[in-house]
Amino acid sequence: MAVAVRLSAVSKKFGSFTANNNISLSVEEGTIHAIVGENGAGKSTLTKMIYGMHLPTSGELSIKEKAVRFTSPREAIKAGIGMVHQHFMLVPELSVVENIILGHEKSGLFRPLPLESAKALIRKEAEAYGLVVDPDAPVASLSIGEQQRVEILKLLFRHAEIMIFDEPTAVLTPSEIDRLFITLRALRDTGKSIILITHKLDEVLAVADTVSVMRKGEIVGTMPGSSVTKEELAHMMVGRSVLLSVSNPAATPGEIVLAINNFSYRTTRGEWKVQNLSLNVRGGEIYGIAGVEGNGQSELLQTLWGLAPEGTIISGTATLKGESIIGKRPGDIALMGISCIPEDRLRHAVITEYTVSENLLFGRHRERSFHRGIGFNNPAIKRYAEEMIADYDIRCSSPESQSLASLSGGNQQKVVLAREMNRPGITLLILAQPTRGVDIGAIETIHNKIIEARRTGIAILLVSSELDEIIALSTRIACIYKGSIRHEFSQEEVELKREAGHKFQKEIGLHIT
């Protein structure tokens, strides 16, 4: 079979840092080739070289056995390469068809756009590949899954033969993922070559013909997708064997700690983001909220941490052991005994240019024990930081001078976790996407710490779009859809169904779409 993309001994260096080292790889025509690896393993650098966003430092790249040297994505597109980015590159105000032809209008500057012919093409492709979407709808009105279809249609419109998908399932629901895989297989069967970047191992096994594993900038193995197991892949990615699911001993929930009743949230623009949501979380249990992002989780979390923007209309109650949370400021909420790990840790939970130990202090910097006179009590802070670093296995060389930005995603998250879980006197821990962007190796540590925290009797509210995670950790599971809880699985149900794994995921999937 012919080779669509071939990399021969390609390396990419940024300054003294080698992002890709001596990579040799060939993607055969008409196959789905998955590239897996942890964050920072060099997957995105690799794809950026193929897509013309980076020039290799050394080595050779060839497309269909012709050596190329792309200096911009424009040249890569010309050579028949297309990419669906993790964050879509669409103009929300324009319609689907306008987005698709954008940049390839094929008409004079002051001539009308060839919309009709483009629409005909969209209909044809839609049928062939299961990419159903209304060509006249404005992109802003589409669901995430539909927007992704528009991105794929864009590639087809540009006659891309080689398609790169960067974490395409990160934002999709289980049923949308199934649909996407049908499309990917259909594309492959018509001879397109597909490069799939992902860190989700189940997906790789479900759809890939060939799998390459990257670790620390190198390819550590390439094998057929049918001959490898999830455990083997995880081992190759991390370099040691990892437990993919934590042991979750039965919980014995106590009193209600957090009670939310008839909570509704209306934005300043008049959209109801949350409507009549009620739930309660007991001490010593993990209450998991499963759901696709954008179904009101962020608004709920915002309110619980006192960050709802001015002008938002909030009704209903949220109380911690009878004391109302709504309307308080973050500092006061923390003093009530609540800790919160926000979804977007880099934006909200840390100061990236501060050092590791300064970040271990952030948000808790008012605590008396860290102060002496007008300044900080540096020896006390040092002791505390050392303790946290050892306890949470935070990998860093010099916590007092190293900036947080220089840590890997997993270690950054461990910093946040260590700080928030050890707040003195907490009774409620709010966790939003606690392992997003975290390597497999670190997920193990983080999950164990969460279970450990539960066993000390604190109440934990877990919000995650990763169903794996929700199922592995939760005592009870609520399914959120369009701002309300649509279904709740009791402790008995969850314990019973946890073993069923994939089947349980599908069942939850039905309640969140």
- Binding residue (CB under 8 A) for other proteins from 28, 362, 481, 495: 362
Minimum Å gap between C-beta 62 and other proteins is 30
Among residues 143 and 377, whose Cβ is nearest to other proteins? Answer: 377
Minimum Å gap between C-beta 348 and other proteins is 4
Chain positions 116 to 135 lying near other proteins, rule: CB under 8 A, are: none
Does residue 399 belong to the site contacting other proteins (CB under 8 A)?
no
Chain positions 307 to 326 lying near other proteins, rule: CB under 8 A, are: 307
Measure the CA–CA gap between 278 and 276, rounded to whole angstroms.
Answer: 6
- Binding residue (CB under 8 A) for other proteins from 4, 195, 350, 473: 350
- Binding residue (CB under 8 A) for other proteins from 74, 159, 329, 395: 329
Measure the CA–CA gap between 211 and 160, rounded to whole angstroms.
Answer: 22
Does residue 430 belong to the site contacting other proteins (CB under 8 A)?
no
Minimum Å gap between C-beta 393 and other proteins is 24
Question: Could you tell me which stretch among 69-77, 211-219, 276-284, 351-359 binds other proteins (CB under 8 A)?
Answer: 351-359
The answer to whether the CB of 84 falls within 8 A of the CB of 168 is: yes
The answer to whether the CB of 67 falls within 8 A of the CB of 59 is: no
* 3-state SS record for 178-219: HHHHHHHHHHHHCCCEEEEEECCHHHHHHHCCEEEEEECCEE
Does residue 421 belong to the site contacting other proteins (CB under 8 A)?
no
State the pairing for strand pair 81-84/162-166. Answer: parallel
Among residues 341 and 438, whose Cβ is nearest to other proteins? Answer: 341
Does residue 352 belong to the site contacting other proteins (CB under 8 A)?
yes
Does residue 347 belong to the site contacting other proteins (CB under 8 A)?
yes
Does residue 13 belong to the site contacting other proteins (CB under 8 A)?
no
Spatial CA neighbour of 190 closest among 117, 108, 128, 276: 128
Beta bridge partners of 31: none
Does residue 363 belong to the site contacting other proteins (CB under 8 A)?
yes
Among residues 231 and 344, whose Cβ is nearest to other proteins? Answer: 344
Spatial CA neighbour of 34 closest among 227, 213, 234: 213
- Binding residue (CB under 8 A) for other proteins from 318, 349, 417, 443: 349
- Binding residue (CB under 8 A) for other proteins from 342, 399, 434, 441: 342
Spatial CA neighbour of 36 closest among 177, 235, 171: 235
Does residue 371 belong to the site contacting other proteins (CB under 8 A)?
yes
Among residues 222 and 403, whose Cβ is nearest to other proteins? Answer: 403
Measure the CA–CA gap between 279 and 304, rounded to whole angstroms.
Answer: 13
Query: Which DSSP category does 92 fall into?
Result: T
Among residues 40 and 82, whose Cβ is nearest to other proteins? Answer: 40
Measure the CA–CA gap between 61 and 49, rounded to whole angstroms.
Answer: 9
State the pairing for strand pair 66-68/81-84. Answer: unpaired
Minimum Å gap between C-beta 436 and other proteins is 16
Minimum Å gap between C-beta 363 and other proteins is 4
Does residue 437 belong to the site contacting other proteins (CB under 8 A)?
no
Neighbours of 244 (CB within 10 A): 14
Strands of the sheet containing 3-14, edge to edge, are 17-28, 3-14, 58-63, 66-68
Q: Which residues contact 293 (CB under 8 A, 6 or more apart)?
A: 171, 465
Does residue 380 belong to the site contacting other proteins (CB under 8 A)?
no
Residues of this chain that bind other proteins (CB under 8 A): 15, 305, 307, 329-332, 334, 340, 342, 347-354, 358, 361-363, 365-366, 371, 374-376, 403
